[in-house]
Structure 1
Amino acid sequence: MTADVFAPLAALEGVGSAARAARDAVDVLLRDRGLRRVGSEVTAEALLRGAQASAALAGSPSTLEEVRRGEGDALAAGAVRMTGELMGLAPQVDTAPVQVWTRLHQLAAADLGSADQLGHLRTSREPLPDDIPGLPPAPPADVMWERLSGLAKALTTPTTAPGLVVAAIVHAELAVLRPFPTANGLVARAAERCLLVARGIDQVAVTVPEAGHLELGASYPDGLTGYAVRGVTGVQSWLLRECEVIALAAERSPLNSPTR
């Protein structure tokens, strides 16, 4: 039987209570607003806001209004493309995670590189990607492949850990491993969003976790660096940061601030 690798991380000091508080913030949002009142236009708006925030974290200067008009740069355009398929990909993330991640990359990087690089997991013959500023160097391809395979296997194994913890670990692993030549940050954040939907944290995708990551952007590279190099302490700090992000994600929902 495959071990539940997420459960011990969820049991780190303070993580369980912080995760419950973050989940409560989402549940209050959905309960107060009423799930039956959540139409597809609200989900679309939340995903659009998330796309713009994720692109901004990746260095895009495009504003929300520019993105809304379809005038964003290549990073923003890629993030928006992912939102078009995200709700359809989410149910597959627990059974075919690598295929989901490669599809996200195909969408995210369509304007960032050559066609043969889309959905392409890097090999040892290629340079290490350096597309998330502030992180330590990406691991060699053989290490990346081993960890990515382990992560995919863990996702298809039952766990007692909250979905929020699973989503946060997948986000951090993809960002630290940087399995693709480009757009790794966009893919990592979209993969997190897929899991928040699939694991029942926000099934209708009306929170905006990417906005939470952007608002806490000063701690984003440090949090991922700590996750990569500080062992259990770094993982704990990343998970506690994630709980703050999800609480902010609920506050930034278009249910609280409709489109102007």
Structure 2
Amino acid sequence: MTADVFEPLATLEGVGSAARAARDAVDVLLRDRGLRKVGSDMTTEALLRGAHASAALAGSQETLEQVRRGATDPRAAGAVRMTGELMSLAPQSNKTPVQVWTRLHQLAAAELGGEDQLGHLRTSREPLPDDIPGLPEAPGADEMWERLHGLARALSGPTSAPGIVVAAIVHAELAVLRPFPTANGLVARAAERALLVARGIDPVSVTVPELGHFELAGSYAQGLRDYAAGGLTGVRDWLLRSCEVVALGAERSPLNISAQQGK
């Protein structure tokens, strides 16, 4: 049986209560798990806003309206492409996560590299990727493969940890490991969102966690650096930040925007 590697992290100081508060923020949005009726237009809008925010974190200069009209920046275009399959990929995140991540990379990086690089997990014969500013050097391919497949095994096993914690760890691991030649940040953030859907936190995907990461961009790279340092304090701080991101993502949902506009 695969060990539950997520549960001990969920018991770090403050994490459990922060995860419950973040879940409560989503539940209020979805009317206390009654799963407020949500049209596909709201899911589409939330995914679009998330794609724009994730691309902006990756360095895109395009505005939300430009992305809405049809992104030309390759990072924004890739982020939008991922939204087209995210809801169908999400259920597989718990069963075949590596295949989900490689598919996300195929979509995200279609304009960022050669066709032979799409969905390609890097090897020791290739240079280390450096596509997320502010992070320490990516680990070598051997360590990356070991950790990536260990993460996949953990995801396919049972855990008592909140879905928010699981999604946050996957985001951080993919960002720190940078398993692909390009677009690792886009993939990591999309993988987090997919798990929030798959683990029942936001099954209709109307929150915008990427916008939470963007609004807290000043602590994004530092949070990942602290996580990468390997200490429990860094992991705890990343998890606390991720809980704040989820709560912010609920606040920035288009459902709330529509309500505020009286629609």
TM-score range, shorter chain: over 0.9
User: Offset at 1:32?
Assistant: 7.0
- Indicate if the aligned counterparts of 2:30 and 2:36 stay in contact, CA closer than 8 A: no
Q: Quick one: distance in 1 between partners of 2:231 and 2:32?
A: 39
Local SS of the residue matching 2:133 = coil
Q: 2:69 corresponds to which residue?
A: 69
Alignment of 1:177-196 (within 5 A): 177-196=177-196
Aligned pair 1:208/2:234, yes or no? no
Distance 2:34 2:163 in 1: 22
Q: CA RMSD in A?
A: 1.4
Distance 1:191 1:18 in 2: 21
Render the CA deviation track for 1:205-258: whole Å, top value 9, x for unaligned: 000000000000000000000000041110000000001001100000000113
Asked if 2 retains the 8 angstrom alpha-carbon contact of 1:209 and 1:246, the reply is yes
What is the match of residue 231 of structure 1?
231
Matching residue of 1:40: 40
Say whether the 8 Å CA contact 1:63–1:72 is kept in structure 2: no
**SS class of match (2:258):** coil
The 3-state SS of whatever aligns with 1:223 is: helix
Three-state SS of the structure 1 residue aligned to 2:203 is coil
Residues 25 and 250, structure 2, Cα contact 8 Å, conserved in 1:
yes
CA distance in 2, matches of 1:216, 1:77: 23
Show the counterpart of 2:116: 116
Residue 219 (str. 1) matches residue 219 (str. 2): yes
Which residue of 2 is the match for residue 167 of structure 1?
Answer: 167
Q: What SS class does the counterpart of residue 225 from structure 2 fall into? A: helix
1:133 is matched with which residue? 133
Checking the alignment, whether the CA contact within 8 Å between 1:122 and 1:181 is kept in structure 2 is: yes
Superposition deviation, residue 124 in structure 1:
0.2
The TM-score normalised by the length of structure 1 is 0.98
Contact 1:46 / 1:206 at 8 angstroms: preserved in 2? yes
Q: Do the aligned residues in 2 keep the contact of 1:67 with 1:76 (CA within 8 Å)?
A: yes
Partners of 1:62 and 1:180 lie apart in 2 by 24
Look up the match of 1:14: 14
The more displaced of 30-39 and 174-183 is 30-39
Task: Report the CA distance shift for 1:111/1:163 in structure 2 as closer, same or farther (over 3 A).
Answer: same
Structure 2-normalised TM-score? 0.97
CA distance in 1, matches of 2:194, 2:33: 22
Aligned residues: 260
1: CA distance, partners of 2:207 / 2:135: 27
The answer for the alignment partner of 1:155 in structure 2 is 155
Q: Is 1:6–1:161's contact at 8 Å kept on the other side of the alignment?
A: yes
> Are the aligned partners of 2:22 and 2:247 in contact in 1 as well (CA < 8 Å)?
yes
Which aligned segments of 4 or more residues in structure 1 are displaced greater than 3 angstroms?
Answer: 32-36
Q: In 1, Cα distance between the equivalents of 2:230 and 2:153?
A: 24
Are the aligned partners of 1:33 and 1:255 in contact in 2 as well (CA < 8 Å)? Answer: no
Shift of the 226–248 alpha-carbon distance from structure 1 to 2, 3 Å rule, reads same
Q: Secondary structure at the match of 1:93?
A: helix
Offset of residue 33 of structure 1: 10
Which blocks of at least 5 consecutive residues in structure 2 are unaligned?
none
